[in-house]
Amino acid sequence: MIRPISTHSLALALAATTFAPAAEATTTEDSRHVTTSAAASTSAAEIKPPVAEKRAHTYTVHGITVEDPYDWLYDKSYPVVDDEDVLNHVKAENAYFEAKMGGQKAFTEALFTEMRARIKEDDSTVPQKDGDYIYWSEFEEGAQYRKHYRKPAAGGQAELLIDENKLAEGQEYFSLGAASISQNGRFLAYSTDTSGGERYTARIKDLQTGEHLPDVIENLRGGLTWVANDTALVYGPSTEEWRTLEAKLHVIGTPVESDVTLYKEEDQSFGVGAGLTAQEDWLIIATGDNETSEVRLIPAANPTATPILVKPRQKGVEYSVDVRDGELWVLTNDDHINFRLAKADLKTPGNWQTVIAGSDEFYLTDFDLFKDFFVTEGRLNGLDQIQLRQYSAPGKVTPITFPEPSYTAGLSNNPEYDMKVLRLSYQSMVTPSTVYDYDVKTAKLTTLKTQEIPSGYDPSLYVSERLTVTARDGTQVPVSVLMRKDRAAILKKAGIEGPGPLHLYAYGAYGYAVPPGFSTSRLSLVDRGFAYAIAHIRGGDDLGRRWYLQGKLFQRTNTFNDFVDAGRGLIAKGYTAEGKVTASGGSAGGELMGAVINQDPSQYGAVVAHVPFVDVVGTMLNEKLPLTPGEWQEWGNPITDKAAFAYMLSYSPYDQVVAKAYPPLMVTAGLNDPRVTYWEPAKWVAKLRELKTDDNLLVMKTNMGAGHGGQSGRWNSLKETAEEFAFILWQMGMAPKSEGE
């Protein structure tokens, strides 16, 4: 497997950071929202929503002509956004957002305070040994970002490696990307992004002197991998279109301009990544798209040697590799949709011999090689599985079992090749995040840390269920649900008659399975009588690879139908009622939100779409955009395929907006977002404002100094979650009355 961060690294500290689907970026209070004097002097009830000008624009593809009067919101100088008309419109939307949400400011602050009280402010990760040192990270009380530390395993003083708070000073946004310590422990290479545009700058710190080396690598994406006995780094530079098409070698102390290209990808739809094998003796350079991969191996001690091509790319065949004692291990879907594990001799790396055959029941998702055993991970009936196996008898399985009916579990930070005790992570919708050590010899699980909730949390008050609903084509769709056991009493006390509200969340793309994990912020809905449900819809790989394939390309609409039908099924089962379903999703999940409110708007009482991918046709036709060529395998190529164009047009949320009533809607965007460009939500909101026939609230907030993840810093990010929940509760009639109401 590719190990993107050297095993002598900050893997523990970085892996412990939680990233929400659409939340992280720092902005100042003044720049976060732009408020005009007119908006400030007008009451929220009187302010009118911005009306985007319609400018005639059409395009014709495959003989089909499409009108797009809001195309002008796409600043053609992007990634520079300096068109005054565009900026003025975005600022006007922000001003309208501030005005309409202004009445909920006190409630938002109350929710934020409530959510923050559930978070241990001076928290730290569980230390983990890696070579000669023990590594961990800490949050100090009140701090937005982490500090990363190490100390000698033999004993000694703690050493501060990175203070993210210091690096973030004066920045609207901050993100620590890769962080990798050289094998000799002397040098730390790390990268940072201060715009949200996902173009990172790498620097190297000499941990003996505390000084930075002159070497600075600009405009990179991905990891930083130490090779050649700690004299060089392998990294992936970004092209102008945000694509990573090369693996380059930087020799410490030499000009970046002289860096050597180890591999260059010619297919613009592929992306390149690099890492080390389990024993750190081979450099892995992998390239691929969403359905095809190709891997090369190079001796880590001699990175300019001629690469070994493991197996030439074959469309639809994915594989990843690792090496143990000169033997190649391969995870691949070449003969089974749910993957098999195979081995090969490095002299004949493409001759794969099966170790674990593919299974219709068990979905094999990952493997890790250690000195005395190996671990396979996967899912059985949608539930995570961790299995220990011996090299001498790979068919004999020692499973690590967990008691709850719905949970998420997996290997955590295990940086050393010779591990006797495995670090595991576990959580469920009821059980807070838990870190275990698993003794391989005795099979004993030891709890090292359970997420602390300072304001108090009693898991016995909650119940988690895993049920299925029947989609319109007969498919059984799993749904994980969290509720208070005394939900009925909470609703009665709040004066809510009949079934209570239910929040439904999903993603449904790229084979990403939304884990039924724990969330402290979610409790702010559940403790007010909401049921919280995660729909494990097609498009994710929750039930295996076929589940994913049934939600992509020409089966994409299964994803939308599953979500709508999941909500309808929960209504039928009495969990909620018509108009009492609220929903949210981000990015491709934002596309999901756009599609389901086009299809079944009356089901929803409020919807939040974060950085929504809603202009599917326009984006997939624009091959100059950062991710478009690599996305054609997921969505189809409308440029060359008429059927793909027509199918996309039939469901693209922006193109399918019509004159009818829509539910209350909150939309977010990031001006610097390279993944879902700001104009997609801007165009969608403009068209909704033009055509919708209802008086329901529609607001959009664009983070002017951030990207795809929203604001950075744990408190800034949490404030945005509080804002989202305030909107939902307000629209459901469950917020305190504000002035003017």
CA distance 99 to 107: 15
Q: Which residues contact 497 (CB under 8 A, 6 or more apart)?
A: none
3-state secondary structure 614-671: CCHHHHHHCCCCCCHHHHHHHHCCCCCCHHHHHHHHHHCCCCCCCCCCCCCEEEEEEC
CA distance 34 to 480: 39
**Rounded Cα gap, residues 146 and 138, in angstroms:** 5
Q: Which token pair is 439?
A: 């003794």
| Token duo for residue 117 | 């009280």
Taking the alpha carbons of 164, 165, 167, 172 in that order, is the dihedral positive or negative? positive
Helices (H) and strands (E) in the chain, counts: 16, 37
**Contact 134/153 with Cβ under 8 angstroms?**
yes
Cβ(615)–Cβ(534) under 8 Å? no
Query: Which SS3 state, helix, strand or coil, does residue 412 take?
Result: coil
Are 114 and 726 in contact by the 8 Å Cβ rule? The answer is no
Describe the crossing of helices 557-572 and 588-599 by its angle, rounded to 10 degrees: 60
Amino acid at residue number 243:
R
3-state class (DSSP) for residue 167: helix
Taking a C-beta distance cutoff of 8 angstroms, is the pair 174, 712 a contact? yes
Compute and round to an integer the Cα radius of gyration of the chain. 26
Enzyme catalytic residues: 587, 673, 708
Q: Helix crossing, 557-572 with 642-651: angle to 10°?
A: 30
Question: What's the rounded Cα separation, in Å, for the pair 260 and 682?
Answer: 42
